[in-house]
Amino acid sequence: MEDEANSGEASGPVRYDLVVIGGGPAGYGAALYAGAAGMKVALVERDKVGGTCLHRGCIPAKELLETAAVWRTVGEAAEFGVNVEPPELDFGVSQVRKQRIVDGLETGVKGLLRRRKVTVYEGTGWLCADRCVEVDAGESGMLTLQGDHVLLAAGSVPITLGGFDRDGALIMTSDEVLALDEVPPRVAVIGGGAIGCEFASMLSDLGAEVTVLEYAPQIIPGVDADIAKALSRAFSKRGITVLTGCQVTGHTPASGGGTTVQYTTTARSGGDSEEASLEIDAVVVSVGRRPYPDHLGLDGTEVKLDERGFVVADEKCRTTMAGVYAVGDLINTPQLAHVGFAEAIVAVKDMLGEEPAPVDYGNVPWAIYCHPEVAFAGLTESAAREAGFDVATSKHRFTGNSRAMIVNDTEGLVKIVAERDPDGAAGRVLGVHMMGPWVTEQLGQGYLAVNWEATVSEVAALVQPHPTLSELFGETMLSLTGRGLHG
C-alpha cells in the first residue's frame, strides 16, 4: 500500500474526488485518466493491479499463443531453405517468459499510477451509503474512503458448467490453462468463442489433439458467417475437430486418467438429436465469463443488478445510485479490455461535466489471436440485411497476396460489407471482417472506415503500400467500386 494510503485520519474517512474499486484495465484506466485530469484518486484492488487481462487473460494468453507461433514457424523453416534440428518444446521456459512479461507490465502500470498520484489500497473494498467505500486491508486494518464519485470495476470470472467441477488438471478454465506446465495429449474445448478458439489453436500447435464443442451454429458468434466457415476449414486442415450445434451433457472420468465427454448434436436439417461421446485427457471449459460483483456489498445499496448479475448502468456508465459508476465486465457490454478503457474515459468525462460521446458497442473492434487470426468491426452481412440495408459485399483471399506468399501464410480472406446506394453503387462501409495473417494488426483502417461512416469510394481512393498484407483490404474495397485491379 502506498504511504499516503496509511495516513488515514481516525476522525473520519479519507476523501477523494474518485474512488475506484477494481484495478483491471477499466479500473486503472479510469484512475489514470482521472489523475491526468487533476482529480484526487484512490484505487482499491484485492488481488493484483492489472486484473484478469494482465494476469489471467489477454496478456498471458497471447504470450503462449506467440510460443505456438514460434513453434509453428520453426517447423516450417525448411520451406525457406533453413534447415534446423527437430524442435523440442520446453513449455516451462515459455511460462517463465510469460510471467516475466506480465510482471514487467504490472510494474509499468504501478509506475503510471504513482506518476498520476493515484493512491493504491491493497485490500477488498465494498460500497456503502453516501459514496463511502470500506476497505479491508488485511494487516493494515479497516479503512473508510469517501469519494465525490465511486467507480465500480470489479471485473468478471470464468463461467463454469454443472457437472464439470474444475480441478485444474482434468477440468480447467482459462485460469488453469494459462498455468499449464505440459500440454495434454487430447483436449476437448467446450465453447468455440474467441477464448475457446485461441486455446484450441494454441494447444493444437503445441501437439494436442483438439476437439471444439460449440453450442451455437458457428464458432466465434458475432463474426461474419463466411469468416466463421473459413476458420472452421482452416482448423480442420490443422487437425482441429470443430463440432457446432452440440450440447455437452456430462462426463465420466476414467480410472486410469482422462474422461469421456457426452454431448448431443442436432442435425442441420432440423432432425432429432443424436448422442455421442469423446474420450479425452483434459477438458477446457470456455463458455464465457460472468460479472463479479460478489464482494462489492451491493445488496444494501441503491445499485441494481439485472437478471444475469450485471450492474445496471446507462450509456454514460452511471448506475442507479447517484455518483456511482460501473465499467468493464461488470456491465452488460462486450467483455474486452479496450472497451473497458473506453468506458472508463466516458465515465470520468461525465464526472467532469464534459458531455462524452457514448461508446458505440456495435462497432467496437474484435481481435482473436488464433491461427489464422480473426478480426472484425461493424455489421455482418446477415445483420446488415436484418437491419434493412440493401447490402453490397466483396471478398478477397490472401492466396494471391504477395506479402502473404512471402511469409508463407496465405490462409484467409477479407470481407467488406457496405450499404448499396439508390443508384446501385456501394456506399457507406458497414462492416469489415478478416481472417488471415496478422489481421489483428490490420483491422485499424477498417475500424476507422466503419466508425467514421466512410464510403467505399472514399476508402478505395487511399493508396495502400506494396507489398503488404493490408493491400488486400484496399483491393477488396476497390472491387466494390466495380473497378478492382486483381479480381
3-state SS track over 39-70: CCEEEEECCCCCHHHHHHCHHHHHHHHHHHHH
Residues facing residue 413 across a β-bridge: 397, 435
What is the rounded CA–CA span in Å between residue 271 and residue 269? 6
- CA separation, residue 419 to residues 118, 191, 431 (Å): 46, 33, 9
Answer whether residue 1 shows pLDDT above 70.
no
What is the rounded CA–CA span in Å between residue 414 and residue 433? 6
* pLDDT of the residue at 457: 95
- CA separation, residue 279 to residues 90, 242, 251, 252 (Å): 26, 15, 9, 9
Q: With CA atoms as reference, report the closest residue to 219 among 158, 157, 287, 266.
A: 287
Q: How many beta carbons lie within 10 A of that of residue 222, not counting itself?
A: 15
Q: Does domain 3-59+92-158+290-362 correspond to CATH entry 3.50.50.60?
A: yes
Q: How many beta carbons lie within 10 A of that of residue 225, not counting itself?
A: 14
The torsion angles phi and psi of 113, rounded to 5 degrees, stand at: -65, -40
pLDDT tens digits for range 319-366: 999 999 999 999 999 999 999 999 999 999 999 999 999 999 999 999
Residue with cell 498471458: 60
* Residue-averaged pLDDT of the chain: 93
With pLDDT > 90 as the criterion, what percentage of the chain qualifies?
87
Answer whether residue 89 shows pLDDT above 50.
yes
Q: With CA atoms as reference, report the closest residue to 212 among 202, 197, 229.
A: 197
Copy the grid coordinates of residue 12.
473520519
Which residues belong to the active site?
466
391 backbone φψ class: left, alpha, beta (φ>0; ψ -120 to 50): beta
Answer whether residue 144 shows pLDDT above 80.
yes
One-letter amino acid identity for 190? I
Contact between 21 and 150 (Cβ < 8 Å) = yes
Cβ-count burial of 250 within 10 angstroms (0-12 exposed, 13-18 middle, 19+ buried)? middle
pLDDT tens digits for range 245-301: 999 999 999 988 999 999 998 755 566 788 999 999 999 999 999 999 999 999 989
Answer whether residue 7 shows pLDDT above 60.
no
> 171-287 in CATH: which number?
3.50.50.60
Count of positions (residues) in the chain: 487
* pLDDT of the residue at 278: 95
Copy the grid coordinates of residue 210.
483438439
Copy the grid coordinates of residue 421.
446506394
Angle at 203 between CA 198 and CA 208, to 5 degrees: 150
Average pLDDT over residues 368-374: 97
* pLDDT of the residue at 273: 80
* pLDDT of the residue at 149: 98
pTM here?
Answer: 0.93
What is the rounded CA–CA span in Å between residue 346 and residue 361? 13
Model confidence at 9, in pLDDT bands (50, 70, 90)? Answer: very low
Which sign, positive or negative, has the C-alpha torsion 51, 310, 158, 288?
negative
Q: Give residues with Cβ within 8 angstroms of 259, minimum separation 6.
A: 170, 251, 252, 253, 279, 280, 283
Copy the grid coordinates of residue 468.
503488404
Model confidence at 6, in pLDDT bands (50, 70, 90)? Answer: very low
* pLDDT of the residue at 234: 97
Residue with cell 481472417: 435
- CA separation, residue 175 to residues 56, 145, 158, 183, 391 (Å): 6, 32, 8, 15, 41
**Extended beta strands in 318-437, E state:** 324-326, 366-368, 373-378, 391-397, 413-420, 426-436
What is the rounded CA–CA span in Å between residue 286 and residue 305? 24
Helix (H) or strand (E) holding 150: strand 142-152
Give domain limits for the chain. Answer: 3-59+92-158+290-362, 171-287, 372-479
* pLDDT of the residue at 140: 78
pLDDT tens digits for range 115-143: 999 999 999 999 999 999 999 988 778 99
Angle at 260 between CA 256 and CA 263, to 5 degrees: 175
Contact between 311 and 291 (Cβ < 8 Å) = yes
Give the single-character DSSP code of 464: P
What is the architecture of the domain spanning 372-479? Answer: 2-Layer Sandwich (3.30)
Contact between 377 and 366 (Cβ < 8 Å) = yes
Average pLDDT over residues 453-470: 95
Cβ-count burial of 259 within 10 angstroms (0-12 exposed, 13-18 middle, 19+ buried)? buried
Helix (H) or strand (E) holding 190: strand 186-190
Give the single-character DSSP code of 117: T
> For the chain, what is the largest distance between any 2 Cα atoms, rounded to a whole number of angstroms?
75
Q: Do domains 3-59+92-158+290-362 and 171-287 have the same CATH topology?
A: yes
With pLDDT > 70 as the criterion, what percentage of the chain qualifies?
97
Copy the grid coordinates of residue 21.
474499486
Residues facing residue 66 across a β-bridge: none
Specify the 3-state DSSP secondary structure of 311. Answer: strand
